[in-house]
Structure 1
Amino acid sequence: MLSTHLKDTVTFQDSVSSWEESIKVAAEPLLNQGNIKESYIEKMINNVHEFGPYIVIVPGVAMPHAQNAGEVNSTGVSLLKLEKPVLYPEDKEVSLILVLAATDSDGHLDLISTLAEVLSEEDTKEGLEKAESKEEILRLIESAE
């Protein structure tokens, strides 16, 4: 399920200037496909300003998301892999940013659950951090699902 959502939404970038930019860049494929509105991106960024770096779910991995109040048109997931980690609040280094956008809380929970399973495998997480292609990332996630 996760790999299906990521089929057209994986991007690679050398670096970003801030954690806010990392969320914007990571969410761009979902915005371009019409899954989300621009306001959803701002809402994700505002959540971190308000609640801190709770979206850094394991070392090196952030999962920006927000409650849908009409900003999510269709459920989607995107992934940005940074060559150089970006610092999130509290000096948390992040190089993988997975944006979640769900039309309802059930879809949200299913995606979070699948992602948690994938990232709980240390080999898979390390593989994602070292991956150099979209195909490699999709293969790793498919094998862990």
Structure 2
Amino acid sequence: MDCVMSLLDLIGNDGIVITTEKGLTLDAALDLTCSLLIKNGKVEASYLEAIKQKHKEIGAYYVLAPKIAMPHARPEDGVNEAALQITVFKNGVDLESEDNGDVYFSVTLAAMDSDSHIHTIMALSELFQNEDDVDAIIQAETESDIKDILKKY
């Protein structure tokens, strides 16, 4: 793939969940972070299971920083096409990360192979380092507000 997919391309028209639910269990929260990817056929249910399984083995490996998570598994765990799902937990969710506390902003990464998503990872890490934008996404009321912020990346 020569064309570089932007974050918005990878999210598509139906890739953002904003939830105000409180007290979500770990499983329910992870289900949510993959819900649209599975619904839209971007990943198989096995991808979600792989994330849960790895969590059981090594803990919250995908909680990258305070507020921020990036659930992901391996391409062979059931990725059908490269995609991202954004999930905003308005009230935060405890994903069992002792170092980073509750998660408010999750980006589920589904990659076809390790090379093609280097650009995506770079764009995401730029975003994750921008606290103002991360906070703006968490505060956002609508999907289009979130997309406006992500256009920069």
TM-score > 0.5 by shorter chain:
yes
Equivalent position of 1:41 in the other structure: 48
Amino acid at match of 2:133: T
Q: 1:14 aligns with which of 2, 9, 20?
A: 20
1:55-74 CA-to-partner distances (Å, cap 9, x unmatched) read 11121111000112151110
Asked if 1:138 corresponds to 2:147, the answer is yes
Q: CA deviation at 1:99?
A: 0.6
Runs of 4+ in 1 over 6 A off after TM superposition: none
1:97: how far off? Answer: 1.6
The answer for the alignment partner of 1:2 in structure 2 is 7
Q: Counterpart of 2:9 in structure 1: which amino acid?
A: T
Aligned pairs, how many? Answer: 144
Match of 1:117 in 2: 126
Q: Corresponding residue for 1:55?
A: 62
Distance 1:126 1:70, change over 3 A: closer
1:24 aligned residue: 31
Quote the Cα distance in structure 2 between the aligned partners of 1:6 and 1:71.
Answer: 18
Contact 1:23 1:97 in 2 (8 A): no
Cα pair 1:20 1:45 within 8 Å, conserved? yes
Distance 2:24 2:61 in 1: 20
Structure 1, unpaired ranges of 5+: none
Counterpart residue identity of residue 45, structure 1: K
Identical-pair percentage: 25
8 Å contact kept, 2:105–2:134: no
Q: Distance in 2 between matches of 1:97 and 1:122?
A: 14
Look up the SS of the partner of 1:107 in the other structure.
Answer: coil
Query: Which of 60, 64, 70 in structure 1 is aligned with 2:71?
Result: 64
* Separation in structure 2 between the aligned mates of residue 68 and residue 93 of structure 1, nearest angstrom: 27
Q: Which of 90-99 and 42-51 deviates more?
A: 90-99
Q: Letter of the 1:3 partner, please give it.
A: L
TM-score when normalising by structure 2 = 0.87
CA deviations on 1:44-102 (whole Å, 9 max, x unpaired) are: 11112212222111211110001121511100000111121111114420111211101
